[in-house]
Structure formats: structure tokens, C-alpha cells
Amino acid sequence: MPDDLSRVLEGLRSGRLSAAELLDESLAAARGQSCEHAFIRHFPVPQRLAAPETPLGGLAVSIKDLFDVAGQPTTAGSRVLADAPPAAADCPAVARLRAAGATLIGHTNLSEFAFSGVGLNPHHGTPVNPVTLALDGQRRIPGGSSSGAAVSVAAGAAWAALGSDTGGSIRIPAALQGLVGFKNTARLTPMDGAIPLARSLDTACAITRSVRDAVLLHEILSGRPVARLNRPLAAWRLAVARPLLQDDLDAGVATAFERSLTALRAAGADIVDIDLPALRDLPPPQARGALVAAEAWAWHHELLARREAGYDPRVAWRIRQGERVTPEILQVALAARQRYIASMEASLQGIDAVLSPTVPVVAPLLQPLVDSDESFFAANALLLRNPGLVNALDGCAISLPCQRPGELPVGLMLWAPALRDEALLNLALLLEPLLPTH
């Protein structure tokens, strides 16, 4: 699947390509070795595909197993929901994709209940990162929680994947697999009819192969057009914040990030270093996680009381942290978040977007994280650190691949406060062809 969705749609509409043939290729890939453990269930293929003139032209799209699809159970990658009844109707996000002409091919695997940035699933197996496997032969993590979603796109089974992002669950697997992951401002896309992790932070969004595709999927999911802004690169003001966001970078990420900044500056980008005091004053991780833990506990506590033995122990342990979040602690956490948002918005006045590594490392090896709780939780915290700061901001962000061909994937994250989605996507369209990957 060398092309992106937008280019293939042009071929469909010209009659040069066949939607039926492309769907056959997608379905073969979905059942191939590269997609092993990527899907929890495959959907029946409709006898009649959408017309090429529809926005998605009948092409294959995968759905994370959090979103209701009519006639299918929704199980969040968990054994404890194995007896869930089929959904009576599509949730709004899925309905919008179907109405836009998507052929829905299956529910994709994920970290159980979307509660991890690593992507491991002990119930359904963990899909291996197909991009890094082809590059160095090592079995590396796919990233999570939208693990199967990213693999479905990277392996050629889907042209786009619906997923969710609560603390980085779209951008982490996109970065680790050389894809584009756009996390919109949460309120712009509906999460109704989806199993929640933390309702205050959950975002419905997509993984794609290009920024053009990300724009198209956001237009469909949000139900609004993205206007194209006629602004040259030099008219945008970009920023780099050094503290925290660039701590503990591995050599591959550090090199790719600095190389990307050099390429953008050479093309005329105005990039300034800024200080973000809110990042220096962050509360400890336990306090920052209070909101997610409390909201997860509120949804899970009755199910945990009946079926905890069926949970992934690492997921159950994290959910149970919410049991300790008193109303007083939660109010402190909510107030701290509002102060953080206010401080960040003040610091980013006049800045169109901040540039940072999406995650500080290339995809870690899989087996050590399966074997060791200590290694797993350390990797999980590191992967969630940068993208999670944007969710706390209620902001928007996009991860773009920025490694050179032949190198392990690295993500460059562009991010901004809430409701700057349209500008951010326009900026990403400008920057994408300037990055070393292209």
C-alpha cells in the first residue's frame, strides 16, 4: 500500500483503480502474518460497496474495539466483556464513517480498556510492530492503546483507523510505526457509544498514512470542513520548549528531532525557543493521574467487584488507584488542571504550534515489557509523558513521521491549545513534505 488514501481516491474516481480489488487486498492483509493479533473480530463484507464519489469511496477502515458497530459486540479488548450483546446501532463516529462510504472491516485490538501506551494485550495477543520488524528483524511493541489500529494501517489492511486518544493512544502507535496520528480537540468529535476510559479526556480520532488523509478523516468525524489557509511557512510562528519534553531522549529520537528542526529552518520556518513555566510546576505523576484513575474507577468498580480475575492484572491495578481518589483529591486535581491550562495558554500567546518529539524513544523491544512489571510501567510512563501533556491541556496535536528512510520510526509532534485544530492541520500540510521522511 504505497499510496495514501487521498491519492487512491483520486484513482477510484478517475476509473483507474477498482474499489473491489483494493478491498480484496485489504482483507487479505487483515488476515496476513503482519496483522497477527491486530484484529479481535472481522466484520462481514457488504455485497455492495459505496460509490467512488463518496468521501471514502468504499475503501477499508478499521474500528478500535471501543466503538459500537451495529450487529457486533464491543469488548474493549477484554475477556470480562466477552458475553457483551451485539450493539443495536453504530455509535456516532462509526455512523459518520459508514455514511462517508467506509467499508468497515473489523474491530482492532488494543490495550485492555485502552489503559496503556504500550499496546500489550494478554487476552488476545499483542500485535508486533510490522514496520520495525521489517527494518531490524526485532519484535518491538506496536504502541498503545490503539495498537491494532496502527498495525492495520501500517500493514496495509486499512486505509485509516478509528481509535481513541486519552493520553496519547493515537499518537504513540502512530509515532512508533511511522504513521500520522491526529488528536483533535476532544469536544469536536463524539465519543457517545464508546466504552470510556476517562470521559474528561477521551477523544475519538484517527490514524492515517498522510496529513491529507488526517484532514479528510477529521472532516468526517467532526462533521465540519477544514478550510485551507493560504499562509506561507514564514508566516507561522513555531516554538520549541526544552524542559521535560526533551528529557531522556534516546539517540535516534534526538537525532531525528534536531535534523527535522534544521530542515524546517532551512525552508524558512520561524522557530523560537520558549519557556513553559507550567511544565516546571507540574504536580507529581500520581496527582496528574488522579482524574483518569477516578473516572476509570467510576466506570469499572462494579465490574471489577464481579470479574477482577478476568482483567489484565496491570490494568486492574491502575484502575484500582482510582479507589483512593477522594472527592477532595479530585477537586484539587481539577483545579490544578485549570491552572495548567490557563498558564499554558498564556505562555503560548502568539505561538501557532509547539514542536516536540511525540515520544522520547523508538519502539522498545516487546519481550522485556511482557516479562517485567517494572520495565512495563517505566516504559508506559515514558511513552505517555509528552502526548499526555496535550490531553491535560485539552489541546490538539498531530504526530508526523520524521525519521530518514531505513531508520526506526520517530514522531514529530505539533501541538497547540484547544480549538486550533484547523490551523494545526494546515501547518502540518506545510511541514510534512519538508521532513526527512519525505
Instruction: Name which of 35, 36, 30 is nearest 60 in CA terms.
Output: 30
Catalytic hit among 116, 169, 210, 222: 169
Q: Is 64 a catalytic residue?
A: yes
* Residue tagged active-site, from 34, 62, 111, 145: 145
Distance separating alpha carbons of residues 39 and 30, to the nearest angstrom = 8
| Active site (annotated) includes residue 169 | yes
Residue whose C-alpha cell reads 469511496 in the numeric block: 57
Phi/psi of residue 397, nearest 5 degrees: -160, 155
Strand partners, 416: 396
> Which residue type does 298 have?
A
Classify 356 as helix, strand or coil: strand
Own/partner pairs, 45-49, CB within 8 angstroms, 24+ separation: 45/103, 45/105, 46/103, 49/19, 49/20, 49/23, 49/103
The active-site residue, picked from 64, 116, 152, 183, is 64
Which residue type occupies 364? Answer: P
- The answer to whether 356 is a known catalytic residue is no
How are beta strands 204-208 and 180-183 bridged, if at all?
Answer: antiparallel
Contact call for residues 208 and 5 (beta carbons, < 8 A): yes
Handedness of CA 79, 103, 177, 382 (dihedral sign): negative
Q: How many C-beta atoms surround the C-beta of residue 372 within 10 A?
A: 12
In which region does residue 178 sit, left (phi positive, over 0), alpha (psi from -120 to 50) or beta (all else)?
Answer: left
Q: How far apart are CA 198 and CA 293, in angstroms?
A: 8
- What's the chain's length in residues? 438
Q: What are the cell numbers at 194?
A: 464508546
Strands 237-241 and 180-183, bridge-based pairing: unpaired
The residues that are catalytic are: 64, 145, 169
